[in-house]
Amino acid sequence: MPTQKRNLLTRFLIWRIRHISHKQFVLILSIVVGLLAGTGAVILKNFTHLIQQLLEGNLIAHYQTAFYFIFPLIGLTIVMLIMRLIIRHKVSHGIPSTLFAISKRKGLMRPFQMFGSLITAPITVGFGGSVGLEGPTVATGAALSSNLSRIFHMNQATRTLLIGCAGAGAMSAIFKAPIAAIIFAVEVFSLDLTLASMVPLLLASVSAITTSYFFLGTDILLPFKVSDKFEINDIPFYILLGLVASLVSIYYTKMYTKIQDFFEKIGSPTKRLLIGGIGLGILVYFIPPLYGEGFDVINNLVQGNPKAALENNFFNLDLSSIWVVILLLAGLVIFKIIASALTFGAGGVGGIFAPTLFMGSLMGNCFAKILNNIGILNNPVSESNFTLVGMTGLMAGVLHAPLTAIFLIAEVTGGYELFIPLMITAAISFSLTKHFIPHSVYAMELGRKGDLITHNKDHAVLTLMDITTVIERDFIAIYPEMDLGDIVHQAVIKSKRNLFPVLNKETNALEGIILLDDLRPVMFDQKLYKEIKAKEFMNSPPGLIDLDKDKMTEVMKKFQDTAAWNLPVIKNGAYYGFVSKSKLLTAYRRKLIDFSGK
């Protein structure tokens, strides 16, 4: 073998294989991924804060509030130009694009995704886009971990685990809630909760939060500690809050979907930009609290200061009236998701995590204010507690992540005394919403197509399989008018298979199948060679696989229902090949081994 000068990476990979086990190397990479995700969170937050301070803090405060109308359109235009001229790719929504990479691209994410959200999300939010930074932070960390895994030749199972580590690291750095971040990664990315996955997730979460503390200090998004105790008498109201959270979750998802469907029907990106940008500008101008993420509004509500959150209302309504405050809070709940959907529809880049927290806090606070002012309670309920529990209820319903919702609010606010109401409201909201909305906003499109990875391992493995890899095309076709002699000489003698598709000669459509067992009783009687036609032997197939429509889960079900060993495949209405059960099960076993990382 000729001696060749190996590059540095090759030398390192060889050294690593000799001196570091795969398990140890995964732990090292999880720490690195956590550091990268934490750094990404710091950059995104600081860049966004800088833009908001320059615009909202100076121009709007010292010049004219009319800038609220124009800023979102300017920001969305800049984002579109960056995508077209610099990135040269569309930057998709953070977590949905990550889930798509796991489900359909074997955990491989394209290089531009490492910096696409890092540039465009702060501009979107900084200029007033009514979305969050959590999704872009997760997507940035996931893309970094995916490409890092590719460099070090990690298999699919390890890539998926490291993407989960990036998600945990991003959430840990943003909220400074390392335990909730781990649960988020397990729930959203459907990771197996085993020791092999738990330790890397823990290391990534800890390294990310350490990075966040190093650069951002002790500042947190929700600087509030629970002071009001949980009262057992309030349980019926928390149950009712769960029902309300479910209704709002359904409204949130339906409204988001309808607006996205509306924008998808608009072919021109420029038209989408103008419609979405102007619509968002109008909303932000009339309702300034919709500007950006809205965590300042959440903090004012939790701290019992709703007037500070609502004082910039356009109509200068009298905030001394509690019912005016309640009306404004309810209006913000209704319009926040509209503003968020318009931001996405216009081409903005962001996440839905912050809008969910925003709406949940307003919903909980508004609910408590109504209870306290309709004259049915002897002792008022804690508005701050209901604000926190409201966030949990809406996260559980919209994101379908009830455990993340419970632990995030409990960990960030120190509200472990609220565990019982958090669990009650989250469980009710999640259960009812899931009955009407099967998939979260993150996973809705993948779920509709059957491409979503879930905790059901069989379903997950089938989702990851590519049907084209198990299609066999070495079957000799027969035509209905062929006589027995032609079948024997042109098909049976030349074929190694015992199955023959019968096709329409003009359209190549499948008309039936012939088994060798059907031919065997007469195939040696040469007197019948000219008398019997193929259509007399032809039978209907027990089932059909449509390559354009059927997913692997449906293919496996068809084999189960028909008990067949071979099923024909059609594509665009024409015959394409066959799938055999034996080959399908062999491919399933191999994918299961790869998926499990064993």
Question: To which CATH superfamily is domain 8-216 assigned?
Answer: Clc chloride channel (1.10.3080.10)
pLDDT tens digits, one per residue of 489-543: 888 888 888 888 989 888 888 888 888 887 888 877 777 778 788 888 888 888 8
Which helix H or strand E contains 576, and what residues bound it? strand 574-580
**Residue 311, pLDDT score:** 65
Q: Which residues contact 308 (CB under 8 A, 6 or more apart)?
A: 300
The residue ranges of every structural domain in the chain are 8-216, 232-451, 460-596
The residue whose two tokens read 């958090």 is 422
**Residue 461, pLDDT score:** 61
Tell me which architecture the domain covering 232-451 has in CATH: Orthogonal Bundle (1.10)
d(CA 522, CA 380): 90
The residue whose two tokens read 């027990």 is 542
d(CA 414, CA 423): 15
pLDDT tens digits, one per residue of 74-106: 999 999 999 989 888 888 777 777 877 777 777
Reading phi first (left if > 0) and then psi (alpha if -120 to 50, else beta), residue 287 is in beta
**Residue 451, pLDDT score:** 47
Alpha-carbon torsion (503, 508, 511, 512), positive or negative: positive
> In degrees rounded to 5, what are phi and psi of residue 220?
-130, 160
Determine how β-strand 545-546 pairs with β-strand 566-571.
parallel
Sequence-separated contacts (24+) of 230-233 with Cβ below 8 Å: 230/385, 230/417, 230/418, 230/420, 230/421, 231/379, 231/381, 231/382, 233/379
Beta bridge pairs of residue 574: 571
Three-state SS at 512: strand
CA distances from 451 to 92, 444, 549, 590 (A): 17, 10, 12, 19
d(CA 229, CA 385): 9
Three-state SS at 6: coil
**Residue 559, pLDDT score:** 83
d(CA 72, CA 147): 33
Q: Which residues contact 513 (CB under 8 A, 6 or more apart)?
A: 499, 500, 501, 502, 538, 539, 540, 541, 568
Q: Would you tell me how many other CB atoms lie within 10 Å of the CB of residue 263?
A: 18
End-to-end CA distance of the chain: 32
Sequence-separated contacts (24+) of 144-147 with Cβ below 8 Å: 144/33, 144/36, 144/37, 144/40, 144/114, 145/29, 145/33, 145/36, 145/37, 146/101, 146/107, 146/108, 146/109, 146/113, 147/109, 147/111, 147/114
Determine how β-strand 471-472 pairs with β-strand 574-580.
antiparallel
DSSP H stretches of helix in 83-218: 94-104, 116-126, 134-151, 156-175, 178-188, 195-216
Q: What is the DSSP string of 277-323?
A: HHHHHHHHHH-GGGSSS-HHHHHHHHTT-HHHHHTT-TT---TTSHH
Which two structure tokens, joined as six digits, stand for 152?
């070090």
Which two structure tokens, joined as six digits, stand for 289?
């609290």
Q: Would you tell me how many other CB atoms lie within 10 Å of the CB of residue 411?
A: 18
d(CA 32, CA 11): 20
**Residue 166, pLDDT score:** 92
What torsion do the CA atoms of 579, 596, 136, 81 make, to the nearest 10 degrees? -40
CATH of domain 460-596: 3.10.580.10
CA distances from 430 to 191, 252, 364, 402 (A): 20, 13, 16, 7
d(CA 369, CA 386): 9
Give the residues of the chain that fall short of pLDDT 70: 1-6, 56-67, 219-221, 223, 309, 311-318, 415, 443-464, 592-598
CA distances from 38 to 45, 47, 206, 281 (A): 11, 14, 10, 32
Same fold, 8-216 and 232-451: yes
d(CA 567, CA 472): 10
CA distances from 106 to 98, 156, 247, 588, 595 (A): 11, 6, 36, 15, 10
CB 47, CB 122: distance < 8 Å = yes
Three-state SS at 90: coil
Among 360, 595, 378, 555, residue whose Cα is nearest residue 469:
555
d(CA 45, CA 122): 7
Q: What is the DSSP string of 432-476?
A: HHHHH--S-TTTHHHHHHT----S-HHHHHHHHS-GGGGEE--PP
What torsion do the CA atoms of 309, 312, 315, 317 make, to the nearest 10 degrees? 50
Among 313, 305, 346, 319, residue whose Cα is nearest residue 331:
313
**Residue 171, pLDDT score:** 92
